[in-house]
Structure 1
Amino acid sequence: MSEFARVLTTLRQIRGLSPFFVLDVGRPTDGDRPDSDRPDSGWHDGEDLLHGPALPDALDRIATRYRTTERRVAASLFFLSYTARLLSPVVAARAIDGVAPDVRPTNLWWRYRPDGLQVRLKDPLAGVGVAESMEPVVEAVHGITPVARGLLWGNAASSMAGALRMISRSDITADCVALGEELFADPPLKGTGEFIPFPGEVVFRRRSCCLYYRLDGGGTCGDCPLPPR
């Protein structure tokens, strides 16, 4: 079986778990193309995350949507959504012994719309490690706003732990806590949090805060190290 076919088989196997495990493949079509004349098409090449106005513009729109003047909060919310959309399929692929997709910026299309972030793969290629996939975007986000790298890697860990929690409630037979400890064994994910023993459930406590509590009406998340608010 070819690499393309193996990746596509994996993506088909996991897409029914929840919308966060759905990762479509191929260039946006018709009015959704990046070069479309439609003003609301909004698709960007993944490399636009690393330079140019697309990422700052997305952070501005997130800040407006959530009514915050703190750019680091908008940056954290963007990266939390980014990692949830991309690392959930990667973690699920590992859980079913499938082929994890390549989620590096060079293999992505993305756009931020009023209803949230959307991503899709350019090609069904086999991926590299989480650190190599996410580091360019961590550096890009950190480079345009004063948000700590450790916080961003904590967001990645939180997204991955959330994926493991959903997988553990499915009919996929995998030791999700053991998989999580394996995935978080090396920097920069090492030390981002810990799994807490709890019968029949994946419980993760991170060591940084995503800053959601800084929003009007926001509070602390279930894996937050801060006291509940």
Structure 2
Amino acid sequence: MSEFSRVLTTLRQIRGLSPFFALDVGRPDEGWHDGAALLDGSALPATVDRIAARYRTAERRVAASLFFLSYTARLLSPVVAARAVGGTAPDVRPANLWWRYDADGLRVRVKEPAGGVGIVESLAPVVEAVRSVAPVAPGLLWGNAASSAAGALRFVALGGAASAEECVALGEELFAEPPLRGCGDFIPFPGEVAFRRRSCCLYYRLDGGGKCGDCALR
């Protein structure tokens, strides 16, 4: 089986577990940005401004954090789920992406069903791009990534595709190297994936916002 076939097979498998893991493949309709637009140009700054307006915040760093939290949730969820079921994770580097932000929030899809690389290599250019748009601490952004990955592992365990113990072991493996190392801790809890991050995504700074379940401030 070719790599493309393995990725497509894995994406179909994890989509069946939950819509949370769905990731479409191929060129979309008009109105989508090439992934390269995350790294330069006006698309990312304009999107952060739209998020700030949508959530009525004057703090650009809050909007930038919310963008990256959504970005990592959309992309790391299928990547982590693919790893958890023993499949081939897709390439989610910017060069292999399409994305758009609209009334339904952030949407992403991959250009080709190619096999991926590590989480850090996939996300590092986007972390730097986000930090060029707003003064967000790198530890906060990597904490967002860890939170998204841990959330995906929790969904995998709840769906029964892998045991909680297997998911925690995978999470500890994924977070073993910097900059993900030290972003949070898995808390021993029988039969569940429990995670507490060491930073805060700043959601609580929105009007009506609160603290997430894994927030360090809880």
What TM-score results when the alignment is normalised by the length of structure 2?
0.97
Any conservation in 1 of the 2:185–2:195 contact (CA below 8 Å)? Answer: yes
Q: Which amino acid aligns with 1:167?
A: V
Structure 2 regions of 5+ residues with no counterpart?
none
Aligned position for 2:202: 211
Any conservation in 1 of the 2:197–2:215 contact (CA below 8 Å)? Answer: yes
- TM-superposed CA distance for 1:199, in Å, is 1.1
Q: Which amino acid aligns with 2:210?
A: G
- TM-superposed CA distance for 1:170, in Å, is 1.1
Helix, strand or coil at the partner of 1:15: helix
More helix by share: 2
Distance 2:17 2:94 in 1: 24
RMSD, matched Cα:
0.8
Is the counterpart of residue 176 in structure 1 residue 162 in structure 2? no
| Equivalenced residues, count | 216
Between 1:174-183 and 1:151-160, the stretch displaced more is 174-183
- Superposed, 1:27-176 pairs within 5 Å as 27-28=27-28, 32-33=29-30, 42-174=31-163, 175-176=166-167
Aligned position for 1:221: 212
- TM-superposed CA distance for 1:173, in Å, is 2.6
- TM-superposed CA distance for 1:143, in Å, is 1.0
Helix, strand or coil at the partner of 2:24: coil
Q: Which runs of 4+ in 1 moved over 2 A?
A: 16-20
Aligned position for 1:38: none
Any conservation in 1 of the 2:198–2:215 contact (CA below 8 Å)? Answer: yes
What TM-score results when the alignment is normalised by the length of structure 1?
0.93
Distance 2:19 2:50 in 1: 23
Distance 2:17 2:58 in 1: 35
Residue identity (%):
76
Structure 1 regions of 5+ residues with no counterpart?
34-41
Any conservation in 1 of the 2:168–2:186 contact (CA below 8 Å)? Answer: yes
Aligned position for 1:199: 190
- TM-superposed CA distance for 1:165, in Å, is 0.4
Distance 1:121 1:13 in 2: 16
Distance 2:37 2:66 in 1: 18
Distance 1:107 1:17 in 2: 24
- TM-superposed CA distance for 1:55, in Å, is 0.2
Between 1:47-56 and 1:14-23, the stretch displaced more is 14-23
Helix, strand or coil at the partner of 2:25: coil
- TM-superposed CA distance for 1:222, in Å, is 0.5
Between 1:12-21 and 1:195-204, the stretch displaced more is 12-21
Cα deviations across residues 42-78 of structure 1 (Å, max 9, x unaligned)? 3000000000000001101101110101000000000
